[in-house]
């Protein structure tokens, strides 16, 4: 018999910042695949609060503190190209609510059609179903970082508090998506 190929999965996103919902999704995903790569990308339609390198560093810290064995990489360009470059055959996507479903299905069908990349959907824990980075940034911009303890790992809260002191943003500057 031939050698079995290991299954590499990617979990793409902006992670601006990484949330408790992301951590829960990663915790459940690492059990399903031989290797999980957290793929931190950019979205030209969204303004990032943290730079790509800051998001990578923060995500690595949170994963280390949570004892989660996932690799963190950054990329520019198309997710399907990144997946091919790292040898991934699966993309993991979290579904928070019914509003996510239509977009995610269209994305999954497109990836499968053009790159043979399969998508695995994982339902977000109900505790995190309402969490979004846009809402978190709005709350932080309103000066309420300390109210985010149920939504963000403590490390992220600490870094976000400093970020908001050094580079404050106004709540209306945060776009919802």
Sole residue written with tokens 């031989």: 34
Q: Give the three-state DSSP class for 151.
A: coil
The encoded tokens of residue 104 equal 């995610």
Q: Please say if 46 is a catalytic residue.
A: yes
Annotated catalytic residue, options 55, 93, 96, 111: 96
Annotated catalytic residue, options 29, 111, 128, 133: 133
Annotated catalytic residue, options 28, 46, 56, 84: 46
- 73 and 6 Cβ atoms separated by less than 8 Å: no
Q: In what order do the strands lie in the sheet with 90-95?
A: 71-74, 35-40, 8-13, 90-95, 118-123
Helix axes 79-86, 98-115, angle to 10 degrees: 60
How many other CB atoms sit within 10 Å of the CB of residue 127? Answer: 12
Q: Please say if 96 is a catalytic residue.
A: yes
As annotated, the active-site residues are: 22, 46, 96, 133
């Amino acid at each position: 018999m031939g050698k079995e190929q290991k299954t590499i999965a990617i979990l793409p996103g902006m992670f601006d910042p990484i949330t408790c919902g992301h951590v829960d999704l990663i915790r459940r995903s690492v059990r399903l695949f031989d290797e999980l790569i957290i793929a931190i990308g950019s979205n030209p339609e969204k303004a990032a609060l943290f730079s790509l390198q800051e998001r990578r560093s923060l995500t690595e810290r949170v994963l280390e503190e949570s004892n989660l064995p996932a690799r963190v990489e950054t990329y520019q360009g198309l997710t399907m190209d990144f997946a091919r470059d790292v040898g991934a055959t699966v993309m993991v996507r979290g579904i928070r609510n019914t509003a996510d479903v239509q977009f995610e299905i269209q994305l999954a069908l497109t990836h499968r059609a053009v790159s043979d990349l399969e998508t695995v959907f994982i339902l977000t824990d109900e505790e995190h179903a309402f969490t979004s980075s846009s809402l978190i940034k709005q709350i932080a911009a309103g000066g309420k970082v300390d109210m985010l303890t149920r939504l963000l790992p403590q490390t992220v809260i600490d870094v976000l508090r400093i970020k908001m002191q050094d580079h404050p943003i106004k709540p209306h500057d945060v776009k919802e998506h």
